[in-house]
């Protein structure tokens, strides 16, 4: 094996650590540092705590503003009500749970950490929704032409204000993550996943608000609230469930494209183009919904525009998924040809189903942690080489490369890389048979209380060396060499 992978790299030199930070590469902890110290000293730990606290504050403020009844001059303003929110919450969960799992499944090869998923979803569900509600309300007041009560105010705000405000709020967390952890944005799948989670979180809270207001209106007009709830659920939760994730995915694709490009012009134009595409699609969607068309007329833009866009995004995601599989295999093959990795690493690591199968088998073999670390190290190594080949990472990447190769080498004999012929479960393992062991003799190490079989008794007469283990067949006395 090459010298670069033979010894653990020493990154105690401040210049080496500065090279890692310059490329946004992980800096290894010092010797003797416990995971608690690393956890407490990690800036992302405290950033996560602050963001989650801010998201919790926003959802509390929104709850206090919308749910309880409020006393106002001249009477009481009826809120959404806790019981109504509890009634509509399951309908919103029916849509958001499978949609979020679908985006998480797409982020297979280089998945983000759980706290990144949680913060992104929470930002869309809490922060983006709260600030969008405030800004949309302020803007709609300025768009009123006939004064307070103008019936065209809501359609104007929904068409010309809400798309830009809501897409900007949902995309804020994406730009923050792109700046804070650009090394983790390795493909279009990274942008689609994070943007989809932010959009799904926003749609989740917005659906609860729409469902609850519809139920409240049904109470006021004496209409069957369950029938009204099911009707709006079909329209928003089934026919148009893709809205916000689809719009925000445009921004995510633009950001991911910028993160994987070396051109400064592309890094500026790609996110802006993605955001404008998201706002334009959102504007067309809201404008069509606010035009007062019948349900039959609304099906035309859905069938001709919206659904083809969803299918196109799905095809694009699958295509990029397959491209990432080939990229990982090609980059790991480079290391295998140089002798730094085994051929099996490049063969099995790029296959998602094989990775899942290996993890399942390692679970029952007691190697799940080592196998999981091995797969992560191989994937990171492949994307690191791709970044260095693209010119996105300078010579500082060689330090991280050496560290990953050493980690793979140390995990080699503790992890599973190739799948076993079959999964062996604990109840299928056979114990070694002791039927052929000789009876213990007393006294001796194999006697009373001994753990080993007693030695075989010595032969009755002396035999030549090796005759105890080797037995020969009888020789035919008539045998002789062939004539001539």
Confidence band, pLDDT 50/70/90 cuts, at residue 4? very low
- The rounded distance, in Å, linking the Cα atoms of 324 and 318 is 10
Burial environment of residue 176 by CB neighbours within 10 A (0 to 12, 13 to 18, 19 or more): middle
Contact 282, 276 (CB under 8 A): no
User: Please, which residues bridge with residue 71 across strands?
Assistant: 76
Nearest CA-CA partner of 379 in 413, 419, 417? 417
Residues 111-128: pLDDT tens digits?
A: 888 999 999 999 999 999
Span 348-368, pLDDT tens digits: 999 999 999 999 999 998 899
Which residues does 109 contact at the CB level (< 8 Å), separation at least 6?
A: 186, 187, 189, 324, 325, 328, 350, 352, 379
Q: Render pLDDT for 177-235 as a digit per residue (tens, 0 to 9).
A: 998 888 888 889 999 999 999 999 999 999 999 999 999 988 888 888 899 999 999 99
Kind and range of the H or E run holding 76? strand 75-77
* Euclidean distance between CA atoms 340 and 334, whole angstroms: 9
pLDDT band for position 379 (cuts 50, 70, 90): very high
pLDDT above 90 for 160: no
Least confident range of 182-186, 413-417, 470-474: 470-474
Residue 114 pairs with which residues in a beta bridge?
none
> 3 exposed, middle or buried (CB, 10 Å; 0-12, 13-18, 19+)?
exposed
Closest by CA to 189, choosing from 21, 347, 319, 328, is 319
Residue 59 CB contacts under 8 Å (≥ 6 apart), including other chains: 125, 126, 130
Question: Which of 73-82, 110-119, 190-199, 430-439 is modeled with the greatest confidence?
Answer: 190-199
Residue 52: its pLDDT value, please? 95
Task: Write down the mean pLDDT value for the chain.
Answer: 84
Q: Please give the Cα distance from 223 to 216 (Å, whole number).
A: 10
Higher per-residue pLDDT: 239 or 457: 239
What is residue 247's predicted lDDT score, i.e. its pLDDT?
96
What are the CA-CA distances from residue 87 to residues 99, 125, 229, 425 (Å)? 21, 18, 9, 44
**Structure pTM?**
0.83
Statement: residue 322 has pLDDT above 80:
yes
Q: What is the mean pLDDT of residues 378-389?
A: 93
Determine whether 483 is exposed, middle or buried from the number of CB atoms within 10 Å of its CB (0-12, 13-18, 19+): exposed
Position 422 confidence tier, pLDDT thresholds 50, 70, 90: confident
- Is 478's pLDDT higher than 60? yes
**Cα gap 65→79, rounded to integer Å:** 8
167 vs 106: which has the higher pLDDT: 167
Q: Which of 70-74, 263-267, 317-321, 395-399 has the lowest mean pLDDT?
A: 70-74
**Terminal Cα-to-Cα distance of the chain (whole angstroms):** 58
According to the model, what pLDDT value does residue 377 have? 94
Q: Express each pLDDT in 325-341 by its tens digit.
A: 999 999 999 999 999 99
């Amino acid at each position: 094996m090459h010298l670069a992978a033979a010894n653990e790299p020493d990154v105690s030199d401040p210049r080496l650590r500065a090279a890692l930070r310059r490329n946004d590469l992980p800096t290894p902890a010092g010797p003797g540092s416990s995971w608690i110290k690393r956890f407490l000293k990690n800036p992302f730990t405290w950033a996560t705590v602050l963001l989650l606290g801010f998201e919790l504050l926003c959802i509390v403020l929104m709850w206090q503003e919308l749910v309880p009844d409020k006393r106002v001059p001249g009477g009481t303003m009826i809120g959404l009500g806790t019981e109504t929110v509890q009634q509509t919450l399951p309908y919103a969960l029916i849509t958001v749970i499978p949609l979020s799992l679908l985006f998480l499944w797409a982020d297979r090869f280089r998945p983000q950490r759980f706290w990144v998923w949680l913060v992104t979803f929470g930002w869309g569900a809490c922060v983006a929704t709260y600030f969008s509600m405030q800004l949309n309300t302020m803007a709609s007041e300025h768009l009123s032409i006939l004064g307070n009560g103008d019936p065209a105010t809501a359609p104007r705000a929904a068409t010309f204000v809400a798309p830009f405000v809501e897409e900007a709020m949902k995309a804020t967390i994406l730009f923050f993550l792109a700046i804070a952890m650009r090394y983790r944005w390795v493909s279009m799948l990274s942008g689609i996943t994070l943007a989809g989670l932010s959009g799904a979180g926003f749609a989740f809270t917005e659906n609860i608000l729409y469902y609850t207001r519809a139920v409240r209106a049904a109470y006021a007009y004496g209409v069957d609230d369950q029938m009204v709830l099911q009707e709006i659920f079909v329209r928003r939760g089934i026919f148009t469930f893709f809205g916000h994730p689809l719009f925000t995915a445009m921004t995510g694709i633009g950001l991911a494209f910028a993160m994987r490009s070396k051109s400064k012009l592309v890094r500026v134009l790609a996110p802006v183009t993605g955001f404008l595409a998201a706002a334009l699609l959102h504007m067309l969607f809201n404008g069509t919904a606010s035009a007062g068309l019948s349900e039959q007329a609304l099906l035309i833009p859905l069938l001709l525009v919206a659904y083809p866009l969803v299918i196109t995004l799905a095809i694009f995601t699958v295509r990029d998924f397959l491209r990432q599989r080939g990229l990982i295999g090609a980059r790991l093959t480079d290391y295998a040809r140089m002798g730094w990795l085994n051929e099996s690493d490049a063969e099995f690591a790029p296959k998602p189903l094989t990775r899942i199968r290996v993890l399942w088998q390692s679970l029952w073999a007691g190697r799940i942690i080592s196998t999981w670390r091995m797969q992560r190290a191989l994937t990171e190594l492949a994307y690191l080489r791709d970044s260095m080949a693209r010119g996105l990472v300078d010579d500082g990447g060689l330090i991280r490369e050496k560290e990953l190769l050493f980690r793979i080498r140390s995990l080699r004999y503790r992890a599973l890389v190739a799948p076993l012929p079959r999964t062996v479960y604990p109840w299928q393992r056979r114990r070694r048979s002791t039927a052929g062991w000789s009876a213990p003799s007393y006294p001796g190490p194999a006697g009373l209380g001994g753990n080993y079989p007693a030695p075989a008794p010595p032969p009755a007469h002396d035999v030549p060396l090796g005759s105890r283990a080797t037995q020969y067949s009888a020789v035919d006395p008539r045998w002789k060499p062939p004539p001539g």
